[in-house]
């Protein structure tokens, strides 16, 4: 699972690596559930044209009544994304996206306590993480984009098995090969699960100090996703 990552916010890097950049200014680099960050989607279904949107990290289904709901829906399990009420509508509509990340952060418990580690691609290449997105209208009538990262089992993975508590299931986000970005966004819903694979390429991992959180939203402690049953 991933509840904290460093978003790609350089307009040049977004354009060079993902083929799109937002129109306006980008939010904070350090991203936590309910924070705002960029994601890439198709401008129109079947068009092949890409657009970079800014949305809240934590997908909000139509029945969510507040932004804080996204503190439980920032990750969607690939095994159940088509079934869970929080995610199934976005999935069945083919609302897939790419989430640009410089690096993700996970807790390593090898010392007996949680130590924050960063995981990134070699050479500091940005990650393109598979996600789903939707638009959500709050009680105030304002419409915003929201998104979630897709995850797969990581038991036995040489890097990702090192993270989270020893008795927790090991999970990892779906990191896409850059050559697959177009196919992930444009393929049919029936074809999309073929991308639910563990990253088997190299990953750099290292202990990283906790960065100061710059907003009240970012300081909220993320709720642990409950994806085995119910809504998530």
Contact by Cβ (8 Å): 170, 157? yes
Give per-residue pLDDT as tens, 166-191. 888 999 999 999 999 999 999 999 99
Position 183 scores a pLDDT of 96
Percent pLDDT > 90 in the chain is: 75
Residue 30 above 80 pLDDT?
yes
Q: Which helix (H) or strand (E) holds 40?
A: strand 36-42
Contact by Cβ (8 Å): 226, 40? no
Domains of the chain: residue spans and CATH: 5-207 (3.90.1680.10)
Give per-residue pLDDT as tens, 113-171. 999 999 999 998 999 999 999 999 987 888 999 999 999 999 999 999 999 888 889 99
pTM of whole model > 0.85? yes
Contact by Cβ (8 Å): 28, 218? yes
Contact by Cβ (8 Å): 162, 111? no
Position 201 scores a pLDDT of 94
How many residues are present in the chain?
232
């Amino acid at each position: 699972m991933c509840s904290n990552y460093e978003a790609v916010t350089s307009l040049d890097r977004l354009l060079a690596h993902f083929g799109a950049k937002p129109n306006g200014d980008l939010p904070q680099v350090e991203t936590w559930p309910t924070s705002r960050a960029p994601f890439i989607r198709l401008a129109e279904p079947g068009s092949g044209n890409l657009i970079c949107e800014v949305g809240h990290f934590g997908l909000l289904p139509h029945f969510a009544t507040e932004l804080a709901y996204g503190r439980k829906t920032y990750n969607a399990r690939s095994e159940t994304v088509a079934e869970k009420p929080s995610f199934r509508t976005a999935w069945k509509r083919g609302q897939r996206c790419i989430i640009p990340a410089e690096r993700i952060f996970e807790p390593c418990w090898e010392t007996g306590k949680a130590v924050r580690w960063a995981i990134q691609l070699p050479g500091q290449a940005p990650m393109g993480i598979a996600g789903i997105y939707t638009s959500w209208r709050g009680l105030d009538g304002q419409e915003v984009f929201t998104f979630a990262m897709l995850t797969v089992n990581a038991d036995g993975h040489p890097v990702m098995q090192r993270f989270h508590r020893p008795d927790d299931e090991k999970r990892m986000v779906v990191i896409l090969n850059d050559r697959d970005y177009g196919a992930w966004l444009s393929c049919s819903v029936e074809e999309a699960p073929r991308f639910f694979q563990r990253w088997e390429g190299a990953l750099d991992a290292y202990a990283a100090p906790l960065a100061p959180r710059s907003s009240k939203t970012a300081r909220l402690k993320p709720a642990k996703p409950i994806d085995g049953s119910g809504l998530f």
